[in-house]
C-alpha cells in the first residue's frame, strides 16, 4: 500500500472526481458513510455523540456523519466552529442540509466562551472533524483554544482522516495544538506522520478506511514510501515443493551467544528453524551449545575454542546465509571475527545487536558489507551507526541515505518498523504490538530473517516477510491472551499460525 503526501492525496481525490466520475459532494458523502459504518460499531445506540466540525472539507465530512447518525436514531449533535469567514463549497452544502433537517441538533460556536458555556459531559464521544490534511502551519487563536478544550475535557476522541492540527508530511513537534485522538479513521492511505513515535500522543491507533478512490489515480502517484499489509506479503511466499529435501532450503550459520547470553543464541536459533531453514549450525561457546541441545536438538553445533565469547570462524563460504551478533559481546577477538566475515564472505548476511555495536565502533567496515546485507538496529543502535536526528522525519531521511550509501537493507525496529532498501524505497510494517517491547524480540527476528535467507528468499523478501511474520505472531498472541504476558518464545511458537495466515491468500 502506498503512503502518499497530502498533495498527492488531493490529486487522487481530484482524479477520482474527474474520471469516475463523481461529484465532490458525493465523494464526501461516500467517505462519511464509510466512517459512519465504522463509528456505529464502536458505540452503543444510547451513547451521546458530539461532532466538532470546522468549515473546510473535513468539517463537511463531520456534518455528513452527523446527519447519518441522526437519521439512524443516534443521540448526536454537530458543534460547528466558525473559525473562518466562510465554508468550503461542500461543507456549506452539508451545513445547509443538516440545518434544514435537524436544526435542533446543530450548534454554531464563534468564541471559546460560547463553547465552554455548553457544559458538555466528559463521557460524550467526540468526533474530531475540525481540520484535515491540508494544513501547513500550526493551529493558533480560536481553533487552538478549541483543540486545547477537547484535549483537556474528554476521554474518547475519534478523529476523521487526521487529528486536527497534525502535519502529515513534516514534524509537528513545535505544534502546541493537536487533537489527542483515541482513534483516527483515515481515508484510503496511512499518513506518514501516523507511523512515528513522536506522534504517539496524537495517533495511538488508526484504521484505514477504503473510500473508493480511483485505482488508476492511485497507480499514477509515485512514492518511495509503502505500508506493508498481508496482501503484499502473501504475494512473496514461495510454495514448498513436494519433492524438496533439507538441502533444498539451505544451510544457515548463526554466530551468537556468549557468557551469560546463551538465551540470545537459543531464541535466534529457534526463530531460524521455525521460519523454514533446512539446516542450521550454531557457532558459540560450550555453555551456549549445551543449553541449545535441550531447546533445539534439530540444530547442529560448532564449539568455539574460547569458553566465554566467540573468537573464531571457519569456512563461512560453506553456508547459504549467516547471522551474526545476538549476545556475542564486544571483545576484540569477536570484533575480528566480524572483520574476517566481511572480508571473506560475499553471501547473504544479517547483523544484529552487538554486531551493530561493533560496526558503530568501526565505521570504516561499513564499506565492506556484502551487497544487501541486512542490519536490524533499534533506534539507539541506529543513532550510533548513522548519527543523531532532530525528529522522526529527519531520521527517516538519514535512514534512506544510509541504506543507499552502504548498499544495505536496514530494519529500523519500532512500533511500525521501517525497512529501508538500497534503491531508496522504505516499507513500514503494519503488524506487531507493544508486547514485543521485551528482551529477546530482536534476537527472534534475526533468526526468522536468517531462516528465510537460507531457504532461498532474497534479502529484500526475507526482511519484509520476516518483519511482518514476527509482528503477526505477536498479534495472534495478544488477541488470544494479552500484550503484557507476551514472550518471544510465544512469538516463535505461533510462527506456524502466522505463516498459515500469510499463506491463506
In CATH, what number is assigned to the domain containing residue 333? 3.40.1190.20
- Res 422 pLDDT > 90: yes
In a domain, 243, yes or no: no
* 409 pLDDT tier (thresholds 50, 70, 90): very high
pLDDT digits (tens, 9 = 90+) for 206-215: 999 999 999 9
Q: Where a domain ends, among 196, 223, 250?
A: 223
pTM, full prediction:
0.97
Domain residue limits at 377: 316-503
Whether the CB-CB separation of 49 and 81 falls below 8 Å is answered with no
**pLDDT at position 414, please?**
97
- For every residue of 66-87, DSSP letters joined together read HHHHHHTT--EEEEEE--SSS-
Identify each DSSP E strand in 242-400 by its residue range: 251-255, 279-284, 300-303, 321-324, 348-351, 374-375
Whether the CB-CB separation of 302 and 280 falls below 8 Å is answered with no
Q: What is the mean pLDDT of the chain?
A: 97
Overall average pLDDT of the 101-122 stretch = 97
**pLDDT at position 504, please?**
83
- Based on the domain organization, do 468 and 364 belong to the same domain? yes
pLDDT digits (tens, 9 = 90+) for 211-262: 999 999 999 999 999 999 999 999 999 988 999 999 999 999 999 999 999 9
Distance, in Å, from the CA atom of 28 to the CA atom of 78, rounded to the nearest integer, reads 17
- Based on the domain organization, do 160 and 40 belong to the same domain? yes
Among 474, 414, 412, 489, smallest CA distance to 444 is for 489
Whether the CB-CB separation of 345 and 370 falls below 8 Å is answered with yes
Whether the CB-CB separation of 34 and 209 falls below 8 Å is answered with yes
**pLDDT at position 484, please?**
96
Q: Where a domain ends, among 198, 223, 248?
A: 223
Identify each DSSP E strand in 363-490 by its residue range: 374-375, 409-412, 418-420, 426-428
Distance, in Å, from the CA atom of 130 to the CA atom of 124, rounded to the nearest integer, reads 17
In a domain, 298, yes or no: no
SS3 147: helix
- Based on the domain organization, do 195 and 336 belong to the same domain? no
Among 160, 198, 211, 209, smallest CA distance to 181 is for 160
Query: Please, which residues have CB within 8 angstroms of residue 137's CB and are 6 or more apart in sequence?
Result: none
**C-alpha cell read off for 377:** 538496529
Residue 89 CB burial class (10 angstroms; 0-12, 13-18, ≥19):
exposed
SS3 174: coil
Q: Number of folded domains in the chain?
A: 2
In a domain, 277, yes or no: no
- Res 505 pLDDT > 70: no
* 314 pLDDT tier (thresholds 50, 70, 90): confident
CATH number at residue 176: 3.40.50.10260
Q: Where a domain ends, among 174, 189, 223?
A: 223
SS3 239: coil
What is the separation, in whole angstroms, between the first and last Cα of the chain? 16
Amino acid at each position: 500500500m502506498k503512503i502518499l503526501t497530502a498533495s498527492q492525496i488531493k490529486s487522487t481525490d481530484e482524479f477520482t472526481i474527474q474520471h469516475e466520475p463523481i461529484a465532490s459532494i458525493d465523494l464526501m458523502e461516500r467517505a462519511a458513510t464509510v466512517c459512519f459504518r465504522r463509528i456505529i460499531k464502536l458505540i452503543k445506540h444510547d451513547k451521546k455523540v458530539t461532532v466538532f466540525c470546522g468549515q473546510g472539507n473535513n468539517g463537511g465530512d463531520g456534518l455528513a456523519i452527523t446527519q447519518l447518525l441522526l437519521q439512524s436514531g443516534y443521540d448526536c449533535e454537530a458543534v460547528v466552529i466558525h473559525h473562518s469567514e466562510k465554508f468550503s463549497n461542500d461543507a456549506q452544502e452539508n451545513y445547509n442540509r443538516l440545518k434544514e433537517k435537524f436544526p435542533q441538533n446543530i450548534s454554531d460556536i464563534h468564541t471559546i466562551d460560547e463553547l465552554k458555556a455548553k457544559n458538555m459531559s466528559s463521557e460524550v464521544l467526540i468526533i474530531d472533524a475540525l481540520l484535515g490534511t491540508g494544513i501547513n502551519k500550526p493551529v493558533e487563536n480560536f481553533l487552538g483554544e478549541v483543540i486545547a478544550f477537547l484535549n483537556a475535557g474528554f476521554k474518547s476522541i475519534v478523529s476523521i482522516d487526521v487529528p486536527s492540527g497534525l502535519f502529515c508530511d513534516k514534524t509537528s513537534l513545535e505544534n502546541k495544538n493537536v487533537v489527542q485522538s483515541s482513534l483516527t479513521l483515515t481515508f484510503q492511505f496511512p499518513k506518514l506522520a501516523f507511523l512515528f513515535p513522536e506522534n504517539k500522543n496524537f495517533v495511538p491507533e488508526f484504521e484505514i478506511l477504503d473510500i473508493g478512490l480511483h485505482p488508476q489515480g492511485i497507480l499514477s502517484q509515485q512514492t518511495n514510501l509503502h505500508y506493508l499489509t498481508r496482501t503484499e506479503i502473501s504475494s512473496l511466499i514461495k510454495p514448498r515443493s513436494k519433492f524438496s529435501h533439507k538441502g533444498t532450503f539451505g544451510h544457515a550459520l548463526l554466530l551468537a551467544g556468549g557468557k551469560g547470553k546463551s538465551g540470545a543464541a537459543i531464541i535466534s536459533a529457534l526463530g531460524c528453524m521455525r521460519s523454514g531453514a533446512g539446516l542450521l549450525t550454531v557457532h558459540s561457546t560450550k555453555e551456549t551449545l549445551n543449553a541449545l541441545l535441550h531447546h533445539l536438538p534439530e540444530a547442529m553445533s560448532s564449539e568455539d575454542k574460547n569458553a566465554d565469547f566467540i573468537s573464531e570462524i571457519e569456512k563461512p563460504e560453506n553456508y547459504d546465509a549467516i547471522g551474526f551478533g545476538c549476545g556475542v559481546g564486544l571483545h576484540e577477538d569477536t570484533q575480528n571475527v566480524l572483520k574476517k566475515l566481511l572480508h571473506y564472505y560475499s553471501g547473504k548476511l544479517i547483523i544484529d545487536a552487538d554486531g551493530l555495536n561493533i560496526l558503530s565502533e568501526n565505521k570504516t567496515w561499513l564499506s565492506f558489507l556484502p551487497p544487501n546485507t541486512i542490519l536490524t538496529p533499534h533506534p539507539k543502535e541506529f543513532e550510533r551507526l548513522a548519527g543523531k536526528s532532530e525528529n522522526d522525519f529527519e531520521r527517516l531521511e538519514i535512514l534512506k541515505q544510509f541504506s543507499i550509501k552502504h548498499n544495505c537493507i536496514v530494519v529500523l525496529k519500532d512500533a511500525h518498523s521501517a525497512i529501508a532498501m538500497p534503491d531508496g524505497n522504505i516499507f513500514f510494517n503494519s503488524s506487531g504490538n507493544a508486547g514485543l517491547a521485551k528482551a529477546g524480540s530482536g534476537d527472534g527476528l534475526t533468526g526468522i530473517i536468517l531462516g528465510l535467507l537460507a531457504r532461498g528468499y532474497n534479502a529484500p523478501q526475507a526482511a519484509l516477510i520476516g518483519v511482518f511474520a514476527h509482528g503477526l505472531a505477536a498479534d495472534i498472541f495478544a488477541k488470544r491472551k494479552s500484550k503484557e504476558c507476551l514472550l518471544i518464545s510465544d512469538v516463535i511458537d505461533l510462527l506456524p499460525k502466522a505463516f498459515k495466515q500469510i499463506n491463506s491468500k
